Structure 1
Amino acid sequence: MNKSESKYFNTALRMDEALLALLEEKDLEYITVKEICHQAGVNRSTFYLHYETIADLVSETLEMINQRFLSYFPQQEEEILGNMGSLAREDLVLVTREYLLPYLRFIRDNKKVYRAAFRNPRSMQAHTRYGELKQHILSPILERFEVPSAHRPYYMAYYVEGIIAIVKEWLRQDCADEVEMIADIIESCVRHKDISHAE
């Protein structure tokens, strides 16, 4: 990365962070280019050098968050999904410590992102990330447990909303409790035996 690319990247990162800071305080539709520039310490011409609209900045910010999120995990999603089909049914759990701990560490280290996402779920496209989780992780597991397809959306809603509720409470307390404690709580709430005995 040469000096000009580095400067461009740093300016873009400042605008990403400025957007996240503003999203903690207000809804996206009320955020202006002027506020973003003020928060990032840049002028309007710099903003328009990088983006045509605030929506472009939102897209870039979401991509930055996604890359940061993936860097916390020891394996790529393809490996997770590839292993799922070969696991014995008794070893198949909806939430494992292997993926729960990095997820919770990411939340702790990026509290601002999650507060913004919960305040602005539509603009932060939270539904997209959970849509991928439901499609690629939860649905295949529920299928392996022979949960009828008509029942699966309800199970998925229960698990996802339950985990979100725990995360929101943890954020409300500024992630003061240890990651391991929150992982224990989630694991104790989400047990594969609950599915296999639910019929």
Structure 2
Amino acid sequence: MNKSESKYFNTALRMDEALLALLEEKALEYITVKEICHQAGVNRSTFYLHYETISDLVNETLEMINQRFLSYFPQQEEEVLGNMGSREREDLVLVTREYLLPYLRFIRDNKKVYWAAFRNPGSMQAHTRYGDLKQHILGPILERFEVPAAHCPYYMAYYVEGIIAIVREWLRRDCTDEVEMIADIIESCVRPRNGSDEK
């Protein structure tokens, strides 16, 4: 990274942090570009050099938060993705507790920005963030269950939208219910039927 790129990155990071600080004080719809610039110590022209709208900044901030979370689990993620083809079918579930609990804790700890994304889904491209889940986890699981390729997008929509709905409701309740309870609910909803139901 050259000096110019580093300066651009550091300025963007300051604006990400400024947005997070402001979200601790008020809802997104009441935050202005002027306030973000003041908090970050930049001028309006710098803001518009980086973003067209506050929604663009929220998207970037969500991506930054997601990267922080993903950086906690690089080795475990490789292990999960690497052995997907060799695991028993009954062990193939959309989520496991070892990933679900930290994921939910992370959402709880960053609930203001996640809630902002849920409240403004159209302008914040919230659904594009689930591409890796669909490609690396859901896709291989559905393939192992021999779900026809034409059906896969519908299965993926069902699972992803279901998890999103549970998390949205939890956020609506200000994440007051215990993480373990939400994990139990998600697990019971996404675990496929076991082989004993098949003839």
From the superposition, tell whether residues 59 and 161 of structure 1 become closer, same or farther in structure 2 (CA, over 3 Å).
closer
CA contact (8 A) 2:95 2:187 kept: yes
Corresponding residue for 1:70? 70
What count of residue pairs does the alignment treat as equivalent?
187
**Equivalent residue for 2:29, pick from 26, 31, 35:** 26
Alignment of 1:51-130 (within 5 A): 52-55=49-52, 57=57, 60-73=60-73, 75-130=75-130
Corresponding residue for 1:158? 158
Q: Which runs of 5+ in 1 are unaligned?
A: none
* 1:63 Cα deviation from its structure 2 partner: 3.9
From the superposition, tell whether residues 54 and 145 of structure 1 become closer, same or farther in structure 2 (CA, over 3 Å).
same
Corresponding residue for 2:36? 36
Q: TM-score, normalised by structure 1?
A: 0.77
The residue matched to 1:95 in structure 2 has which SS?
A: coil
* 1:120 Cα deviation from its structure 2 partner: 2.6
Q: TM-score, normalised by structure 2?
A: 0.77
Corresponding residue for 2:187? 187
Q: Which runs of 5+ in 2 are unaligned?
A: 1-5
Query: Deviation string for 1:164-185 (max 9, x for gaps)?
Result: 1110111111111111111001
**Partner amino acid, structure 1, of 2:50:** T
CA contact (8 A) 2:142 2:152 kept: yes
Query: Deviation string for 1:12-48 (max 9, x for gaps)?
Result: 5442133354694329xxx75323213x152417x72
Counterpart-to-counterpart distance in 2, 1:74 and 1:108 = 21
Counterpart-to-counterpart distance in 1, 2:195 and 2:130 = 20
From the superposition, tell whether residues 63 and 162 of structure 1 become closer, same or farther in structure 2 (CA, over 3 Å).
closer
CA contact (8 A) 2:16 2:60 kept: yes
The residue matched to 2:146 in structure 1 has which SS?
A: coil
168-177 vs 60-69, greater mean Cα deviation: 60-69
Counterpart-to-counterpart distance in 2, 1:25 and 1:186 = 28
* 1:58 Cα deviation from its structure 2 partner: 5.2
The residue matched to 2:95 in structure 1 has which SS?
A: coil
Query: Deviation string for 1:146-190 (max 9, x for gaps)?
Result: 111121111111111111111011111111111111100111111
CA contact (8 A) 1:51 1:57 kept: no
**Partner amino acid, structure 1, of 2:28:** E
CA contact (8 A) 1:24 1:115 kept: no
* 1:91 Cα deviation from its structure 2 partner: 1.1
The residue matched to 1:166 in structure 2 has which SS?
A: helix
From the superposition, tell whether residues 34 and 169 of structure 1 become closer, same or farther in structure 2 (CA, over 3 Å).
same
* 1:75 Cα deviation from its structure 2 partner: 3.4
Corresponding residue for 1:174? 174
* 1:139 Cα deviation from its structure 2 partner: 1.3
Counterpart-to-counterpart distance in 1, 2:63 and 2:174 = 25
